[in-house]
Amino acid sequence: MKKVRIGVVGCGGIANYFHLPELAKIEEAEIAAVADIKEDRAKATAAKFKVPKWYASYGKMLGEGGVDAVIVATPHPTHSPIAVDAIEAGKHVMIQKPMATNVEDADALVECARKHRKVKVMALPFVYFDNPTIKYVDNLVKGGKLGKVCMARVRVAHGGPEKYQEGVAKMFKERAGETWFFDRKKAGGGALFDMGVYSITIATLLLGRAKRVSSFMGTIDKKATVEDSAAIIMEMESGAIAVAETAWTQARGIDEFSLYGTEGVAFWDTSLGTPVVRHYRSSDSSWVTPQLPGEEPLRTHRHFVECILKNKQPIGTVEEGRYLVQVMEAARRSSILGKVVKLS
């Protein structure tokens, strides 16, 4: 069987908790190398997942690691430059969210991916596109079952990354310091870029693109130089008004959205652990609570590997990733200027 040899750049939380455990279960994937600027992390991660090669420089891994594909799992502002280097080295790439922290970096990646058409590039978040509960609501919308969806609210939020980052430090027997997520110079953006990217992804998936945005962002609770809370009002191309919210400041992580249409209303939320959908239909004045399957495990990595082996375009294109960055950058500008910002 042909296997895709994968190298993971960044051996922190998401690599150790998500990418490497999933890749280890996929027959068509071989974890060929890992890289981290923290040499001890690269070494310990390689030992844990029985990876034959580890590097303190991703450039060296691209040159000598014998990898066909790369997963970029480093802090946000490094995603675009590392992905560009990997694509130029002829590697397929999966990029953690957010794809970039400004439109300039997103454009550099789009341009590079367009020049190297044979290389498969997949920009996360991918997670919602084949989630059965979101698909169900998407079908309601696309099938006209909610009538005209005039307003929507999407919120993806939790209590902040610091506890999780303490856990990562503990895993490597390091002393936990202040997390890079709170430092504008290292993160390029705060809760909006970390979690709000999901809210905007869901709004885009269900309602299409935005024309104009207006936002408020603030650092209300954390000792951080980035925002810890944000609300963005978007005028969608369809004419609908959507509010995308995010925060690092709530007691419990909950993802939720509400769609308000002329013929029906749909609520989706994860407050009880697994996602639940409730749908009101005006045709018979009834509430519907469908029993839907859970998410398919391993699907993100399976999809990436399958696209490489079968020469297919992955879901989550760089153009979609760029649009998400454009909305976040516009929201940041709107908040600073106190003005509505058009998306050109």
Ligand X SMILES: NC(=O)c1ccc[n+]([C@@H]2O[C@H](COP(=O)([O-])OP(=O)(O)OC[C@H]3O[C@@H](n4cnc5c(N)ncnc54)[C@H](O)[C@@H]3O)[C@@H](O)[C@H]2O)c1
Q: Strands 69-72 and 276-281, how do they pair?
A: unpaired
Contact letters for ligand X, residues 39-58 (x by CB under 6 A): --x----------------x
Contact letters for ligand X, residues 134-153 (x by CB under 6 A): --------------------
320 binds ligand X (CB under 6 A): no
Rounded to the nearest whole angstrom, what is the least distance from the CB of residue 43 to ligand X in the complex? 12
6 binds ligand X (CB under 6 A): no
Of the residues 6, 9, 71, 146, which one makes contact with ligand X according to CB under 6 A: 9
80 binds ligand X (CB under 6 A): no
The Cα 290–Cα 277 span in angstroms is 7
Residue type present at position 316: G
Residues within window 114-133 making contact with ligand X, judged by CB under 6 A: 124
Can you say whether the dihedral through the CA atoms of 234, 237, 240, 245 is positive or negative? negative
333: Cβ contacts below 8 Å, ≥ 6 apart: 339, 341
Residues within window 15-34 making contact with ligand X, judged by CB under 6 A: 15
Q: Strands 254-261 and 53-55, how do they pair?
A: unpaired
Residue 69 contacts residue 95 (beta carbons within 8 Å): no
Of the residues 67, 94, 168, 207, which one makes contact with ligand X according to CB under 6 A: 168
Q: Is residue 8 exposed (0-12), middle (13-18) or buried (19+ Cβ within 10 Å)?
A: buried
Tokens for 144, please give them.
């006209």
Region binding ligand X by CB under 6 A among candidate stretches 4-12, 247-255, 280-288, 334-342: 4-12
Region binding ligand X by CB under 6 A among candidate stretches 6-14, 103-111, 152-160, 236-244: 6-14
Site residues (CB under 6 A) for ligand X? Answer: 9-15, 35-38, 41, 58, 73-76, 78, 96-97, 124, 168, 194
